[in-house]
A and B are shown apart, each in its own frame.
Chain A
């Protein structure tokens, strides 16, 4: 019995790469550096994405996205508006399921498990892969109830436990000091930046493994943006972070890896042009289109 569990355990995470060659994922590949093996010590891959295509009805929004998202790193997704970067992000926690007539092809593996599998459970997937949205969207409840929302849904009723989770989550979201005296006040009374950090705390409260952020700073002023960026740098110690941003400076500042998406011409699906370490991508892009985009010649 113990052996079975050991084998099962070894099926998780990057070890799968070695042990499940039949899945065709024996190596981590980055399109930008096809010949290099991604073998930095102690680093795993959180999401294996293979030939992901996304359709809204008949319209193809994304085509053949193949990308490996490293664990406990910040991966930024950049590209001009309409290139499908938000849609891509929403594939990772199946938020696209809400869209009528949405269809996904290809493979998305979270720690080696197919998230679009037939017996895949959306709820537990989303618990592991939290999401923060473009516009701060705290519930019209108190600050406390916002953070306690996820744990309550999980069935935690004990006051003391909830208090602990709320404080802990707010601390990790660098918001505790500002709101510890206002836990019973409506969340909508907070400033925009505080609301966004509250949304991050709300996600942290269910102990996710991945945090997806969809342009989290686009509605915030530079000071609030700065605080969120600092926060992300702290959070990557524990969490895998994928951030969509239209702001290239932000991608360059906060991320370890950057993916550049592009839509070739009107009506085309979005495609991944280049993916690599942020420093390399911004200083020596392999693709000429990436270079044109990051130097501001279009988009």
Chain B
């Protein structure tokens, strides 16, 4: 096969188009320095290295592939831009008005705000993070530093992977059955946070595990070589170095929690008028409220305005969270002295 390709290349005219002057210079070196130099200079003036036909075809294919990849990425980018643009087009005006963001919701009347929903979303995501981050990071530390390749570790990893494939609505139903009804928490932020903690545990765990594994092994070895225990080494060296990664994962998780609707609908609530400061109270995170407005919006005359305003607000919050995640991780790494 290789040989065939080689033959083709030659047949197609794959021989390099060598300038006669250049060959002369190479072959005539024995003539002495003067003659050789003169000929080389002549060769140099004749022009640059020419591409063979095979190379020309390769160059063409290269250009085509580059253009194709470009077109595909533009397509992907433009769909994202389209979605963001559409949401902002419909809702940005509403979302940016303080009366809407900090206003009280209205039923049967126009001009309501969404302050309780905004608080619900933030409250819910903070509560969930408080539950899921310690659990996820703990599991990740165990998995990456202490579990080794044993059966338990494999089982945990398999469980986590299976959990992350379960749709969130299933978690919602589970949360409703277990936390809302069986444990008697009722529709509440706590029931929702517990459900969302379960939902996000696999991703938090995996991202924390990846950040911990990305810490160079040499740090752990260096720490151990000064005579500290494994836990001291992990606590004082490995974890601090992994913190930017873990924090990034946590902030991205916060974004996912804010955007989650299915699991929330069954456990937290759809509409509230009072600002839910207590975790035991029902609440209405924005994503769930948007769904509620669209499906049962008849009670609110300007439901479309409220829903699109909320959607735009939600989008801005998630985008900000992602931006914050990136910049903080970068800043922390820079302070540690890494030169990326």
Chain A residues in the interface with B (C-beta under 8 A): 93, 95, 98, 100, 123-128, 130-133, 135, 137-141, 149-150, 152-153, 185-189, 199, 202-203, 205-206, 208
Q: Which residues of A contact B223 (CB under 8 A)?
A: 139, 149
Q: Which residues of B contact A138 (CB under 8 A)?
A: 222
Give complex CA distance A285, B169 in Å: 76
CB distance from A76 to the nearest CB of B (A): 19
Q: Which residues of B contact A185 (CB under 8 A)?
A: 337
User: Given contacts A153-B236, A188-B339, are A139 and B219 in contact (CB under 8 A)?
Assistant: yes
Cβ-defined contact, B226 with A186, below 8 A: no
Cβ-defined contact, A203 with B226, below 8 A: yes
Give complex CA distance A294, B216 in Å: 35
Cβ-defined contact, B241 with A140, below 8 A: yes
CB distance from A114 to the nearest CB of B (A): 18
The B144-203 residues at the A interface (CB cut-off 8 A) are 148-149
User: Given contacts A123-B229, A127-B226, A202-B222, are A149 and B335 in contact (CB under 8 A)?
Assistant: no
Cβ-defined contact, A188 with B338, below 8 A: yes
Q: Which residues of B contact A130 (CB under 8 A)?
A: 225-227
User: Given contacts A123-B227, A137-B216, are A100 and B221 in contact (CB under 8 A)?
Assistant: no
Give complex CA distance A137, B337 in Å: 13
Give complex CA distance A126, B237 in Å: 17
- Of chain A, the residue at the smallest CB distance from B336 is A140
Mask, B216-250, CB within 8 Å of A = 1, is 10110111111111001000110011000000000
Which of A124, A141, A203 is the one whose CB lies under 8 Å from B225?
A: A203
- Where chain B touches its partner, the secondary structure class is helix
Q: Which residues of A contact B216 (CB under 8 A)?
A: 137
Cβ-defined contact, B222 with A186, below 8 A: no
Cβ-defined contact, A95 with B221, below 8 A: yes
Which of A98, A149, A187 is the one whose CB lies under 8 Å from B226?
A: A149
Can you report 10 residue pairs joining A to B where beta carbons are below 8 Å apart? A126-B224, A126-B227, A128-B227, A131-B221, A138-B222, A139-B223, A140-B219, A150-B227, A202-B222, A208-B227
Cβ-defined contact, B224 with A98, below 8 A: yes
The B205-221 residues at the A interface (CB cut-off 8 A) are 216, 218-219, 221
CB distance from B166 to the nearest CB of A (A): 32
Number of interface residues of B (CB under 8 A): 24
- Of chain A, the residue at the smallest CB distance from B241 is A140
Cβ-defined contact, B336 with A137, below 8 A: no
Chain B residues in the interface with A (C-beta under 8 A): 148-149, 216, 218-219, 221-229, 232, 236-237, 240-241, 335-339
Give complex CA distance A99, B228 in Å: 17
Give complex CA distance A130, B221 in Å: 11
Q: Which residues of A contact B221 (CB under 8 A)?
A: 95, 98, 131, 133, 137
Which of A98, A132, A199, A206 is the one whose CB lies under 8 Å from B227?
A: A206
Give complex CA distance A100, B147 in Å: 11
Cβ-defined contact, A199 with B222, below 8 A: yes
Q: A126-B224, A186-B337 are in contact. List 16 more A-B contacts (CB 8 A).
A: A95-B221, A95-B225, A123-B227, A123-B229, A130-B225, A131-B221, A137-B219, A139-B222, A139-B223, A140-B338, A141-B336, A149-B237, A186-B336, A188-B338, A188-B339, A199-B222
Which of A127, A137, A189 is the one whose CB lies under 8 Å from B222?
A: A137
- Of chain A, the residue at the smallest CB distance from B235 is A153
Q: Which residues of B contact A135 (CB under 8 A)?
A: 218
Q: Which residues of B contact A137 (CB under 8 A)?
A: 216, 218-219, 221-222
Q: Which residues of A contact B218 (CB under 8 A)?
A: 133, 135, 137
CB distance from B18 to the nearest CB of A (A): 42
Cβ-defined contact, A126 with B225, below 8 A: yes
CB distance from A65 to the nearest CB of B (A): 21
Give complex CA distance A203, B236 in Å: 16
With most chain A CB atoms within 10 A of its CB, the pick from B221, B222, B335 is B222
Cβ-defined contact, A188 with B336, below 8 A: yes
With most chain A CB atoms within 10 A of its CB, the pick from B240, B335, B337, B338 is B337
